[in-house]
Amino acid sequence: MAQMPYIAAVDAGIHQEMRRDPNVLYFGQNLATTENHEFVAAYGHDRVRVTPISETAEIGIAIGAAMAGFRPVVELYMAEFMLVAMDQVVNEAPRFRYMSGGQVKVPLVLKAGYGFTAGWAGQHTGSLTALFMGVPGLKVVVPSTAADAKGLMASAIRDDNPVVFLHHYMLTLSTAKFRTVSIWCRLARPMCGEPEATSRSLPRAGWFRAHWPRRSSSLKRGSTRK
């Protein structure tokens, strides 16, 4: 597991539970768009589906599926996207089990990234962990290593309560993408702030500073380095 990339470990946790339990579903706005999609090829369109561009709809569908006995995982990509469906996230998913005296279970995982610090605008950069932690009945998971990511994803899917699974965006990138994003962030100062301030805001900032390429005098604005 130490050699497995972070985002691959998250996917491995989902694969593990989908193989183990046929009631685990996986859907989102950018999933199952082709027959070659990894999860579609493995489990078919009955369990892996693309959804409308509506967080209210896809989270509402997931809550209904969970109450019917399924264990849906919703790929939301960015934590802020849940803010447009807060009635479903706050008032519905975490409360039905308690309002029914335990007769209804809502085993639901809302998977989303946070900390998009590469100049992705104000509505894509928040860390909303504390916001969701204040909701009774809603569990929050924020793994920091690949091993944690796989194990906590599997545990979240097996839980009978709704879980918000938040993963840091920068930890999901490959080394090549790290390099491209870091250079772009250094150049786009009006959006990202000073390079040192940006790197300090990221997890394991010392590691990033040690591994990011140095900006050379030949690097022009808007260019990238391989």
CA quadruple 68, 70, 75, 79: dihedral, nearest 10: 60
Active-site residue, from 15, 45, 124, 167: 124
| Amino acid making up residue 183 | I
**Catalytic residue flag (residue 124):** yes
Count of Cβ atoms closer than 10 Å to residue 220 Cβ: 7
Q: Three-state secondary structure along the chain?
A: CCCCCHHHHHHHHHHHHHHHCCCEEEEECCCCCCCCCHHHHHHCCCCEEECCCCHHHHHHHHHHHHHCCCEEEEEEEEHHHHHHHHHHHHHHCCCHHHHCCCCCCCCCEEEEEECCCCCCCHHHCCCCHHHHHCCCCCEEECCCCHHHHHHHHHHHHHCCCCEEEEEEHHHHCCHHHHHHHHHHHHHCHHHHCCHHHHHHCCCCHHHHHHHCCCCCCCCCCCCCCC
Do 155 and 197 contact (CB within 8 A), yes or no?
A: no
> Which residues carry out catalysis?
124
